[in-house]
Chain A
């Protein structure tokens, strides 16, 4: 397959981004970003403004990393705005589990009495079958820092 020179240059930029995504697990700067403590909601109100800015930036960075992880690890079955293999995810944080309209849930999710808080999302992503036995979601996110980043991203696309 031949491409024009212009397309080739455009692809280099796109490929660089995707390449960064593939390397996310091992890139030191991303690892560091994932380990920046704190987030906006948990910040002490008395914290200095400069530190708050740093914290907010870290949260934003984490959401950006989470977006890449989301595409890589969740994108086969989910999207933000369309029900696919799994339900759509925009505004999922804070929502009652099993209540996205138009999606046909397993009985496990229909019965589940849980709200998608940070803690519940973390437990769900770590081991869906343990959190909601009988669920059709088998995919596990093993690394805690990756779960945290994905949750940060989901929060960034929720009201």
Chain B
């Protein structure tokens, strides 16, 4: 199978995966305990909106990073393909988080300009594929830790979806670490 025939199939898969994740996240967010029906308190809801918006900002940055990397010319086509798949996961996270913020009555934070992300992530310093992969690994590993670390601050209804997102980020980090030749960690509790 050639790259040309593989790419559309993978893109279709990415789109499907994003929808599936969004639906799963939304089912979790809107099912069972509804914020509209039983909010803990106005301040707790406001706190959740702030934290979820920070998570949206994190996903915006991740999506932008993969977009910039994919069009940088530094990556092999197969690596671009993987990056686009990961980007699709982040889009699914973003969509689920936006829906959650809206359900809580908040306003989702918007993405910033690409120039902002290029500067914030010091994209100009990336010279080759390995540099790009190391940045991606740093962001994914950090995102896994970030989601795990914010769970205690979030309302109970968001704990599971935050853990799911941490799991996705950890999966990405594992793939990237393997691509970079990193050894498998010897001890458990690698994140958080």
Residues in chain A within 8 A of chain B (CB atoms)? 1, 3, 7-8, 11-12, 15, 18-19, 22-23, 25-26, 71-77, 79, 82-86, 106, 108, 127-129, 133-142
A23–B187 contact, CB under 8 A? yes
Residues in chain B within 8 A of chain A (CB atoms)? 43, 46-47, 50-51, 53-54, 57-58, 61, 76, 78-79, 119-122, 130, 138-139, 141-143, 145-146, 149-150, 152-154, 179-183, 185-187, 189-190
How distant is the Cα of A90 from the Cα of B43 in the complex, in angstroms? Answer: 31
A84–B120 contact, CB under 8 A? yes
User: For residue B138, which residues in chain A have a CB less than 8 angstroms away from its CB?
Assistant: 71, 75
User: For residue A82, which residues in chain B have a CB less than 8 angstroms away from its CB?
Assistant: 119-122
Tell me the interface secondary structure of chain B in the complex.
helix
Residue of A nearest to B133 (CB): A1
Residue of A nearest to B78 (CB): A1
How distant is the Cα of A127 from the Cα of B142 in the complex, in angstroms? Answer: 19
The minimal Cβ–Cβ distance linking A61 to chain B, given in whole angstroms, is 21
Residue of B nearest to A75 (CB): B142
B47–A73 contact, CB under 8 A? no
User: A133 is contacted by which of B43, B121, B142 (Cβ under 8 Å)?
Assistant: B43
User: B187 is contacted by which of A26, A72, A77, A137 (Cβ under 8 Å)?
Assistant: A26
How distant is the Cα of A25 from the Cα of B58 in the complex, in angstroms? Answer: 25
A73–B145 contact, CB under 8 A? yes
User: B181 is contacted by which of A8, A26, A76 (Cβ under 8 Å)?
Assistant: A8
How distant is the Cα of A135 from the Cα of B154 in the complex, in angstroms? Answer: 12
The minimal Cβ–Cβ distance linking A52 to chain B, given in whole angstroms, is 35
User: For residue A108, which residues in chain B have a CB less than 8 angstroms away from its CB?
Assistant: 50
Q: Given A76-B145, A134-B50, are A15 and B180 also a contact pair (CB < 8 Å)?
A: yes
B153–A139 contact, CB under 8 A? yes
User: For residue A12, which residues in chain B have a CB less than 8 angstroms away from its CB?
Assistant: 181
Q: Given A85-B57, A129-B47, are A76 and B153 also a contact pair (CB < 8 Å)?
A: no
Residue of A nearest to B148 (CB): A139
The minimal Cβ–Cβ distance linking B60 to chain A, given in whole angstroms, is 9
Q: Given A15-B180, A19-B183, are A77 and B149 also a contact pair (CB < 8 Å)?
A: no
